[in-house]
Amino acid sequence: MVAGSCPRVAILGAAATPVGRLAPRYGAIAPGLEHDILAEVAAEAMAVAGVAPAAIDAAIFTQNPPTTRQLGFGTFMMAQLGLQCRGLVTEVGQLGLTGGVAFDLACAQIHLGQAEYALALGVVRQSLGEMSTAMDYGIRAVGDVNFQAPFAVPPIGWYAFDCARYMHEHGVSRAQIAEVAVKSRRHALHNERAQFREPLGLAEVLAQRPIVEPLGLLEVPARADGAICLVVCSEHRARESGRPYVTVAGRGFFHEGYHQIGDTHHDMTAFPAARRAVDQALDAAEVALADIDLAELYAPCTITEILVTEAIGMFARGEGWRAAQEGVTSVGGSCPVNTSGGCLSRGHPPQITGLYGLLELREQLLGCAGKRQVAGARLGLHSCELGNYNATLAHVLEGPR
Amino acid sequence: MTLPLVEMGLRRPLPIEVTMVTLPFWEGLQKQQFLVACCSQCARLSFPPRRICPGCHGREFEWRDVSGRGRLYSATKVHGSPSIYGILSPIRVAIVDLEEGLRLVTRLLPEGREPVLDSPVELVITRHPDGFHYAARMAAGSA
């Protein structure tokens, strides 16, 4: 996509549940299953967009976590919502990239002319699942099943490797890295969709039990549920509607050809795919990183936010840890990052985290983020990733113009 | 190179599916050797073994045993592993850079000692009630 020469896609409507627990407590009756929860959210998103169900031509669902009992989920949902589509209906995605991929494909439906209006939507309800099932799934997803999985490294274990290496190479302490968790919580205090909204100090973060050393309980994401739907269409249609909307100014993707780590010596914490994808998105939008007013960057652990901000060129290598401590990445700082509270405090329902990040940018760019509003926000950067940032999908969103 | 053998009381953490691609590697462990695949066409080393060389798409490999000497690139201790892994939690795991240029992930021994990154480590063969596996341990005399 080249800025200016190509019509843009707009996000015309959105709705989402708070992130947290959608499963019932033991013995209680569930308010609904995944499809019930998502149906309500999707209907609300269409109402926000002012688009009738009959006008929806495509529905791109995020792949469900293994805890979802209803299979054939996307096609099952079509019957729940009474949708008939001439474009594409499917479930997509892989690991943390999933939400971004659903959005990307919904946008592509508009670009290809296969849809006038498309949905990017998904639901995660994993809080009721067996912890060991979830961990086993995670371990097999992020490592060679015969040569890495037997050592039981969970997804966050790879970020722990990053963290240990970063501390060693740059002489940085766990406490300095943990400032990201404190900053994330400060943002989440003002996000009514956030999973954790109680004030949190550094001492409390450091006092938690270890999970994947050197990271403790509050430096890694908690299990989280959520449901979200975005409605996209051409900017032309969005303008006609008279409703508020944001547009996609640029998009980039890169896969570095590794799965977690390569089998040769290389710089594990450099995240080159993040740099390539973000550069591509900025180029397509014809803007520079310095023009970006805020960023929602996929970062399950404290260290991940530091490494991705360094990788995309926001900070020099080995310097990114200072940003949270000095307020640079806070609302009011020069480059606010994860104003939603991010994976650590807004919460991390993995398959739809990317969609929640895009939703945060939409609200910020429309000026309706309340007490966490970044003043004058016009351009927002979003990333999501899989593996150890082995692949990155980036989008630049622009507010009303 | 014959690698040190360490006796382990517990079964291997997961059942391993041996295939024609990986059979020589698992047989090597029984002889206390750690075998890696070397592409006959471009000489790139691969671990784990594969059907296609990612460097040149060559399909012929020779097996080479590595010295087992390497450097600790990174390490973590994972708490609360799923019980199906049959290993005592917490478990220390490491990313090891072998002197032959390969990088791999494995268990790090001994459990009780704080690892120091960039210090020397060596691969060891572990013998379990159900077969052989491998791990890394901090080399004698390392920090």
Average pLDDT over residues B36-63: 96
Query: Which residue range forms the structural domain that includes residue A81?
Result: 9-129+223-241
- Which of A146, A167, A212 should one mutate to test binding to chain B, selecting the residue with the greatest count of B CBs within 10 A? A146
Q: For chain B, list residues whose CB is within 8 angstroms of any CB belonging to chain A.
A: 12-14, 16-17, 22, 45-48, 54, 73-85, 87, 90-91, 93, 95, 97, 101-107, 117-118, 133
Domain count, chain A: 1
pLDDT value, residue A5: 55
- In chain A, the largest separation of any two C-alpha atoms, in whole Å, equals 58
Q: Strands B131-138 and B120-128: what pairing?
A: antiparallel
CB A92 within 8 A of CB A318: no
What is residue B124's DSSP assignment?
A: E
Question: Model confidence over A304-332: pLDDT tens digits?
Answer: 999 999 999 999 999 999 999 999 999 99
pLDDT value, residue A2: 45
| Interchain pair A154, B105: CB under 8 A | no
Radius of gyration, alpha carbons of chain A? 20
The residue among A337 and A29 whose pLDDT is bigger is A337
CB B105 within 8 A of CB B91: no
Q: What angle, rounded to 10 degrees, do the helices at A155-170 and A131-141 form? A: 60
Query: Rounded to 10 degrees, what is the CA torsion of B62, B67, B68, B71?
Result: -110
- Report how far residue A133's alpha carbon sits from residue B62's, in angstroms, rounded to the nearest whole number: 38
Q: In chain B, where are the structural domains located?
A: 5-138
Q: Strands A56-62 and A117-124: what pairing?
A: parallel
Please give, rounded to a whole number of angstroms, the shortest distance from the CA of A157 to a CA of chain B: 7
Q: Which residues of A touch B13 (CB under 8 A)?
A: 150-152
CB B40 within 8 A of CB B60: yes
In terms of CA atoms, which chain A residue is nearest residue B79?
A: A211
| Interchain pair B105, A153: CB under 8 A | yes
For residue A170, the SS3 value is helix
Chain Cα centroid distance, residue A378: 19
Tokens of A205: 């973060």
Question: Model confidence over B76-126: pLDDT tens digits?
Answer: 999 977 666 666 678 899 999 999 999 999 999 976 778 999 999 999 999
pLDDT value, residue A233: 98
Confidence tier at A127 by pLDDT (50, 70, 90): confident
In terms of C-beta density within 10 A (0-12 exposed, 13-18 middle, 19 or more buried), how is residue A144 classed?
middle
Confidence tier at A132 by pLDDT (50, 70, 90): confident
| Interchain pair A165, B12: CB under 8 A | no
pLDDT value, residue B85: 67
| Interchain pair B16, A150: CB under 8 A | yes
- Which of B105, B106, B116 should one mutate to test binding to chain A, selecting the residue with the greatest count of A CBs within 10 A? B105
- One DSSP character per residue, A314-341 reads SS-TTTTTHHHHHTTTSTTSSS-B-TT-
| Interchain pair A153, B133: CB under 8 A | no
- Report how far residue A80's alpha carbon sits from residue A260's, in angstroms, rounded to the nearest whole number: 38
Q: Which residues of B touch A390 (CB under 8 A)?
A: none
- One DSSP character per residue, A91-156 reads EE--GGGHHHHHHHHHHHHHHTTS-SEEEEEEEE--TTS-HHHHHHHHHHHSS-TTTTGGG---HH
Question: Model confidence over A37-83: pLDDT tens digits?
Answer: 999 999 999 999 999 999 999 999 999 998 888 999 999 999 999 99
CB atoms closer than 10 angstroms to residue A255: 16
| Interchain pair B84, A136: CB under 8 A | yes
| Interchain pair B117, A165: CB under 8 A | yes
User: In the 3-class helix/strand/coil scheme, how is chain B assigned residue by residue?
Assistant: CCCCEEECCCCCCCCCCCCCCCHHHHHHHHCCCCEEEEECCCCCEECCCCCCCCCCCCCCEEEEECCCEEEEEEEEEECCCCHHHCCCCCEEEEEEEECCCEEEEEEEECCCCCCCCCCEEEEEEEEECCEEEEEEEECCCCC
What is residue A255's DSSP assignment?
A: E
Please give, rounded to a whole number of angstroms, the shortest distance from the CA of B140 to a CA of chain A: 21
pLDDT value, residue A338: 98
pLDDT value, residue A379: 98
Of A133, A147, A266, the CB nearest to B48: A147
User: Considering only A56-70, A110-124, A129-143, which range has the smallest mean pLDDT?
Assistant: A129-143
In terms of CA atoms, which chain B residue is nearest residue A137?
A: B82
Q: What angle, rounded to 10 degrees, do the helices at A174-188 and A155-170 form? A: 130
Tokens of B4: 């040190």
Is A90 within a domain? yes
Give CA separation, B53 vs A256, A358, B38, in Å: 17, 39, 9
Please give, rounded to a whole number of angstroms, the shortest distance from the CA of A233 to a CA of chain B: 41
Measured between alpha carbons, how far apart are the two ends of chain B, in Å?
Answer: 25
Tokens of A172: 């940085």
Whole-number average pLDDT of chain A: 95
Of B54, B82, B118, the CB nearest to A135: B82
Question: Model confidence over A168-227: pLDDT tens digits?
Answer: 999 999 999 999 999 999 999 999 999 999 999 999 999 999 999 999 999 999 999 999
pLDDT value, residue B142: 55
Average pLDDT over residues A101-110: 98
Query: Rounded to 10 degrees, what is the CA torsion of A33, A20, A191, A308?
Result: -110
Residue A242 amino acid letter: G
List, in order, residues 6 or more apart from B140 with CB less than 8 Å away: none
- Report how far residue A304's alpha carbon sits from residue A300's, in angstroms, rounded to the nearest whole number: 7
Of B74, B91, B133, the CB nearest to A152: B91
The residues with which A323 forms a beta bridge, in sequence order, are: none
Is A101 within a domain? yes
State the CATH number of the domain containing residue A85. Answer: 3.40.47.10
Average pLDDT over residues A127-145: 85
Q: For chain A, list residues whose CB is within 8 angstroms of any CB belonging to chain B.
A: 131-133, 135-136, 139, 143-154, 157, 160-165, 168, 209-214, 257, 261-266, 268
- Which of A135, A151, A162, A163 should one mutate to test binding to chain B, selecting the residue with the greatest count of B CBs within 10 A? A151
Average pLDDT over residues A136-144: 89
Give CA separation, A27 vs A23, A24, A30, A307, in Å: 11, 8, 9, 43
> Has this prediction a pTM greater than 0.90?
yes
- Report how far residue A232's alpha carbon sits from residue A10's, in angstroms, rounded to the nearest whole number: 5
Average pLDDT over residues B14-25: 92
Tokens of A350: 């993995």
A to B CB pairs, distance under 8 Å: 110
The backbone torsions φ and ψ at residue A191, rounded to the nearest 5 degrees and listed phi first, read: -115, 110
- Report how far residue B43's alpha carbon sits from residue B28's, in angstroms, rounded to the nearest whole number: 20
Tokens of A358: 């895009």
Is A64 within a domain? yes
Question: Model confidence over A216-264: pLDDT tens digits?
Answer: 999 999 999 999 999 999 999 999 999 999 999 999 999 999 999 999 9
Please give, rounded to a whole number of angstroms, the shortest distance from the CA of A158 to a CA of chain B: 9
